[in-house]
């Protein structure tokens, strides 16, 4: 009965989404304006029903109800409980149900707490949310029903993909989805503002917390996903330009540009058209990412997430939503007032420059991801676009972007003088020059891109804290602290990326027991090899003794695991973290008597990559808290107050 209850709740939620759109659309006409107050309660009911449906699916996985096809194909009776729960969204249907559930919660939050907007704009926003939700409900109900029964039911089930049997799975997809859904709310705000011609600072202040929240979750999701790939796949890298990695990066790039644009609109009443267009682009990238992951057209380490039979449905939704939004933008953007003007040398000008660079990098990643697919679809020619293309094209632009990010916060609004800007940049420029000198003395010749990355990181780090100079730190607003910490996080991440590229040492050897190998400052000795059992796997475990100089030795245990249900081999890397980097070890299964294949990396300062990601997200969180009273939760003070009909 749990499956039937979840399926019924899903149908009812779809009906409420249709009603939400219908009431909103009718209420915007003067003839049916009495329908306006009914839209918000409908959105709340839709959210509750979606949550009930998703909770039912979780219960089915927890109980290992193998009579449900989704559970039987993505879980196992003997699987640890954490992976039973995480298996709910570690598949096609469950992840899409999570998507639409978070979407419903977002709409309900707007319905309950948004009081700053004119009620017509709010209702238009909720109507747009209803349309988006309705498309995904149709996708679930007619193409990807998560509650389909099978008879007879298998005894244990096929099990979750071993690559997903990791704590990162319980964290990475939900955070990304919350980011995607936050972009859908921003998109709905933009559509609502276009429909009612209400594009102004009030609209920007209403949508800014959603963009900030979505951007924070995207940052956390990408950072967590990067570290998951780093330690789980055993390749020794933190980013592979995998198409599905790009699918999460593209919305983040668009959201970053949108975040800066909406801040200018909210505080300075400029960049109105930019803000609307970037709202559409950010949601478009979320939809394209969903299509790429779910369509089955990609071959990647994320191949567990694809389904080739249902990509066409998502492509139709993508065409309808984005095509409709672009058409509305073309029809209504002429009615949007220009807003306040500014000079090129100003903080607004720097933000526009950075937005142009972000958009260019976005296009580079989008073309590199989609062009091979389009070429194969039209000509049958298979083309691989990998790291060399992305690094050589996007890398230099990213460094230029960092320079613009360093200068921007030191500029004045509206207008500034170039000479004054150079004076404010004196310390960052000096530190960048000092970093160049130190690298030349202590490191020597290195590749140009990592070298420039280290220099730029030093300058950006100094410039990021410059807005705090001569301030009373106790009275500095939280959103200023957030900007400083987020920009500092970018510098820290760039430093980690550059250090990893420039200084990593690698050794690939076939080792016999008792043999030693040096990598970086460490000497690694293979002491023993043993077979050990696990909950649903067995492993070849390498006991390796590691010593650095005269310091005390320590033991590391890389493993090569063999899973039973489903059968698959994975590498479980062993990682030792020091203040100045990580030692990374991987063991493989021998194919002959030459020894056990061992791969070793010494990766100086690689942890700065993820430390920077954490700082970026923390900066976003501080900014959100600093803005939240004024931009989102002013509705608490007026909660329950009757809104006046237009």
Segment (H or E) for 585: strand 581-587
pLDDT of residue 447: 82
Residue 94's contacts (CB-CB under 8 Å, 6 or more residues apart) are 57, 70, 74, 87, 88, 146
d(CA 522, CA 568): 32
Residue 448's contacts (CB-CB under 8 Å, 6 or more residues apart) are none
Question: What's the DSSP call for residue 566?
Answer: T
pLDDT of residue 632: 47
d(CA 296, CA 61): 25
**Phi and psi dihedrals of 120, rounded to 5?**
-65, -40
For the chain, what is the largest distance between any 2 Cα atoms, rounded to a whole number of angstroms?
86
DSSP letters for 236-273: S-S----HHHHHHHHHHHHHHHHHHHHHHHHHHS--HH
- Nearest of 292, 291, 208, 288 to residue 255 by alpha carbon: 208
- Nearest of 182, 144, 137, 106 to residue 17 by alpha carbon: 137
Question: For the CA atoms of the chain, what is the radius of gyration?
Answer: 26
Consecutive 10-residue averages of pLDDT for the chain (646 residues): 95 97 91 88 97 96 92 83 84 88 94 87 94 93 91 78 69 84 91 90 90 95 90 86 88 95 90 91 88 62 50 80 88 77 88 94 93 80 84 92 92 88 90 89 82 94 90 88 96 95 93 94 95 85 94 94 81 93 93 88 96 97 81 46 48
Segment (H or E) for 183: helix 172-196
Q: For tokens 């400052």, what's the residue?
A: 521
Tokens of 465: 């804290």
pTM for this one? 0.90
The answer to whether the CB of 208 falls within 8 A of the CB of 619 is no
């Amino acid at each position: 009965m749990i499956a039937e209850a979840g399926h019924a709740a899903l149908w009812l939620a779809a009906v409420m989404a249709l009603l939400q759109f219908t009431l909103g659309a009718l209420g915007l006409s003067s003839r049916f304006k009495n329908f306006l107050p009914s839209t918000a309660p409908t959105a709340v009911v839709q959210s509750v029903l979606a949550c009930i449906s998703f909770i039912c699916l979780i219960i089915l996985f927890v109980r290992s109800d193998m009579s449900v096809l989704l559970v039987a194909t993505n879980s196992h009776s003997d699987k640890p409980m954490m992976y039973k729960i995480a298996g709910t969204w570690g598949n096609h249907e469950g992840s899409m149900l999570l998507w639409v559930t978070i979407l419903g919660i977002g709409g309900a939050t707007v319905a309950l707490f948004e009081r700053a907007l004119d009620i017509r704009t709010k209702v238009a926003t909720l109507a747009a949310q209803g349309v988006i939700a309705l498309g995904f409900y149709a996708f679930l109900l007619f193409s990807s029903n998560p509650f389909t029964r099978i008879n007879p039911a298998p005894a244990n089930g096929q099990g979750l993909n071993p690559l997903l049997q990791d704590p990162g799975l319980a964290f990475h997809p939900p955070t990304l989805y919350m980011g995607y859904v936050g972009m859908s709310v921003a998109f709905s705000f933009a559509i609502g503002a276009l429909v009612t011609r209400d594009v102004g600072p009030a609209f920007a202040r209403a949508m800014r917390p959603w963009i900030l929240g979505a951007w924070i979750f995207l940052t956390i999701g990408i950072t967590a996903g990067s570290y998951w790939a780093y330690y789980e796949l055993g390749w020794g890298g933190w980013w592979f330009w995998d198409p599905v990695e790009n699918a999460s990066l593209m919305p983040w790039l668009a959201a970053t540009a949108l975040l800066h644009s909406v801040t200018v609109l909210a505080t300075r009443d400029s960049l109105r058209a930019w803000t609307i267009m970037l709202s559409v682009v950010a949601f478009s990238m979320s939809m394209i990412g969903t299509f790429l992951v779910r369509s089955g057209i990609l071959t990647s380490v994320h191949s567990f997430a694809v389904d080739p039979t249902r990509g066409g449905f998502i492509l139709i939704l993508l065409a309808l939503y984005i095509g409709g939004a672009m058409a509305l933008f073309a029809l209504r953007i002429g009615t949007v007032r220009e807003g306040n003007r500014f000079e090129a040398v100003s903080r607004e000008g720097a933000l526009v420059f950075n937005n142009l660079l972000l958009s260019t990098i976005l296009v580079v990643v989008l073309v590199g991801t989609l062009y091979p697919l389009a070429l194969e679809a039209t000509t049958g020619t298979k083309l691989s676009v990998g790291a060399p293309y992305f690094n050589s094209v996007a890398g230099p632009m990213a460094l230029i972007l960092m320079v613009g990010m360093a200068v921007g916060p030191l500029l004045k609004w509206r207008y500034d003088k170039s000479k004054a800007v150079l004076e404010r940049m004196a310390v960052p420029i000096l530190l960048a020059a000092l970093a160049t000198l130190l690298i030349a003395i202590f490191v020597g010749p290195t590749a140009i891109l990592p070298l420039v990355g280290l220099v730029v990181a030093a300058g950006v780090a100094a410039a990021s804290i410059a807005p705090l100079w001569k301030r009373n730190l106790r009275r500095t607003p939280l959103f200023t602290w957030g900007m400083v910490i987020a920009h500092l996080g970018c510098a820290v991440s760039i430093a980690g990326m550059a250090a990893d590229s420039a200084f990593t040492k690698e050794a690939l050897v076939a080792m016999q027991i008792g043999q030693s190998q040096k990598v970086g400052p460490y000497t690694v000795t293979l002491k023993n090899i043993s077979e050990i059992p696990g909950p649903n796997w067995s492993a070849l475990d390498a006991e390796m003794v590691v010593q650095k100089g005269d310091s005390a030795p320590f033991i590391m245990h890389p493993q090569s695991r063999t899973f039973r249900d489903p059968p698959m081999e994975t590498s479980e890397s062993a990682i030792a973290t020091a203040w100045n980097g990580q030692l990374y070890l991987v063991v493989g299964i021998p194919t002959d008597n030459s020894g056990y294949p061992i791969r070793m990396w010494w990766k100086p300062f690689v942890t700065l990559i993820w430390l920077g990601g954490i700082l970026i997200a923390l900066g976003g969180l501080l900014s959100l808290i600093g803005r939240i009273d004024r931009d989102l939760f002013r509705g608490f003070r007026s909660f329950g107050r009757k809104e006046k009909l237009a």
